[in-house]
Amino acid sequence: MSTQSRGWNDQLSIDTPELVSLDFPLAGIGSRCLALLIDYFLQFAALILTLLVFYAIASSSSTTGRATRPYNAAADKWAMAIVILIPFMFHWGYFTLFEAFWNGRTPGKRMVRIRVIHESGRSATFFESMVRNFIRIIDALPSVYAVGVTSLFITKRQQRLGDLAAGTLVIHEEKQETPLWNGTGARSFTAASFDRAPMPAVRNGSGLPADAIARLRSTDLEAIDSFLARRLDLPMDIRAGLASKLAAQMKRRMQVAETIPLSDETLLEGLERDARNR
């Protein structure tokens, strides 16, 4: 699997094991800063609320127990340590947990429509998210993310130090548009007034003749197997785009019409079954 940048540091092309090239628009400094400001605002609000609750509990406990309990220096030290630890956990845990378990998005990234992925095109793992956000402390030095911003400008794929260490990228999410007709229902309210062409009879798993399937090469079948084996680990938008490109590639190889009454993944599953049957 290889990656390369295209254009002026704003487009990334990833060649997957399925022999399909995926293009991702890289997120620039403007969208990343806006997402970061939104996340910091949410963090600050949650942190203030948590500290107020903690302070109220601590004050109530110290007031009620002051007359009956001696002064405990160790308890005060632990309380101070917790007060210092809470902001760190909010700052580091917020980004790490959201990016690891929310498909590379924090609330700020989701609003701006950007997300974190691995350089290979798959979703970032918990360990990768943990690494990139732990080094965020260095990226923020000496102030206002000077180190991170400098790294964004001088790297080809607009990566800060945390991204370089974790092997991650930040990309724009393309808006998914729902077509008016998906091939499963009427295209309009008048379509029911006309007779539809009968669907071709399915002769095998893919519904394609054997001579068309015979045009596929072993590398094509390996690409299909690779996609079907790892599709559940891919984000839905990447999975759909990869299936579409791979299905189009198989159709060109088999020299069949583009209008096959099967979804892209169903076609690939059928081709894989046909290859096994052969």
pLDDT in tens, 31-41: 999 999 999 99
The answer to whether the CB of 147 falls within 8 A of the CB of 139 is yes
The pLDDT of residue 72 is 59
Q: Over pLDDT 90: what percentage of the chain? A: 29
Q: Are strands 21-25 and 11-15 parallel, antiparallel or unpaired?
A: antiparallel
Higher-pLDDT residue of 23 and 139 is: 139
Q: Are strands 168-172 and 114-118 parallel, antiparallel or unpaired?
A: antiparallel
Distances in Å between the Cα of 229 and the Cα atoms of 117, 202, 205, 234, 254 are 19, 25, 18, 11, 22
| pLDDT, position 107 | 95
Which residues neighbour 202 within 8 Å (Cβ) at sequence distance 6 or greater? Answer: none
Phi, psi angle pair for 50, to nearest 5°: -65, -45
The average confidence (pLDDT) of the chain is 77
Look at the block and give the residue holding tokens 């680990």.
233
- For 83-94, write each residue's pLDDT tens digit: 677 777 878 889
Contact 160, 151 (CB under 8 A): yes
Going from N- to C-terminal start, the domains of the chain cover: 6-172, 203-277
Which stretch of 52-66, 142-156, 213-227, 235-249 has the lowest confidence by average pLDDT? 52-66
Q: What confidence tier does 228 reach under pLDDT thresholds 50, 70, 90?
A: confident
Q: What is the pLDDT of residues 95-127, one digit of tens each?
A: 999 999 998 999 999 999 999 998 887 888 999
